Amino acid sequence: MAPPPKLRRRPALIAGAVIAICLGALIGGWAWTTTTNTQEVLAARADIERGAVIEADDLVRVRLNSDPALKPVGASSLETVVGQRAAVDIAAGSLLTPSTYAEAVLPSSDMSVVGVALTPAQAPGMDLRAGDRVRVVVTPAEGSDAPAGAPPFSEAEVVGVRLSDTTGELIVDLLVPHAEAAQLASRVATGNVAIVLDSRER
């Protein structure tokens, strides 16, 4: 009886099979990652002007890959977003983020925002933040007294704080009644004001 023939191994074929298996696993993993790392979010179907009430027809659901750098509003929040007001101009196709809408847009019809540029000597040592109640105090110009008959201060609420890139001054946005805005702005323009931070207790 003749012995059975010996099988000849072909290393090239074996290596090719291993590579094919690895590539298949990689492609499968990539496809799985692509489909599972997407999320459905909200985007503007058309331009939405700042201050406008957001309607359901203004929005569209889109699906995109997750990105830690983005903070889009999930499509599940549609009912929450509808009825809110646009806090900024939202261009068609833009993704909605929590900062693009709010219950109310500042300032309201009976209020105004006045910006105050402050040097370190005119501002409190503590950091100001949105929601702080402050008083804008009239200070005398160098070598003179305070303006006669002028109210000693104006009460206001801080709604924004930032540093000027050009002057390094602290720019504080103050929310005041509309009727008082012009008078406060004229005082601020002289530079003879200081801000006093009042209690944060509520």
Give the pLDDT mean for 49-75.
Answer: 85
The answer to the question of residue 3 being in a domain is no
Q: Report the pLDDT value the prediction gives residue 78, as an integer from 0 to 100.
A: 92
The answer to the question of residue 68 being in a domain is yes
Q: 7 pLDDT exceeds 50?
A: no
Q: Are residues 172 and 128 part of one domain?
A: yes
CB neighbours (10 Å) of residue 156?
24
Q: Are residues 91 and 147 part of one domain?
A: no
**Residue 62: HSE in the Cβ half-sphere, 13 Å Cα cutoff:** 16
**Overall number of domains in the chain:** 2
Say which CATH number the domain at 71 has: 3.90.1210.10
Give the pLDDT mean for 135-143.
Answer: 79
Q: Which of 88, 105, 107, 82 is nearest to 49 (CA)?
A: 88
Q: Are residues 182 and 160 part of one domain?
A: yes
Cβ atoms 89, 50 nearer than 8 A? yes
As a whole number, the mean pLDDT across the chain is: 80
Q: Residue 187 is part of which domain span?
A: 111-197
pTM for this structure?
Answer: 0.54
Last residue of a domain, one of 79, 102, 125: 102
Q: Report the pLDDT value the prediction gives residue 130, as an integer from 0 to 100.
A: 82
Give the pLDDT mean for 111-140.
Answer: 89
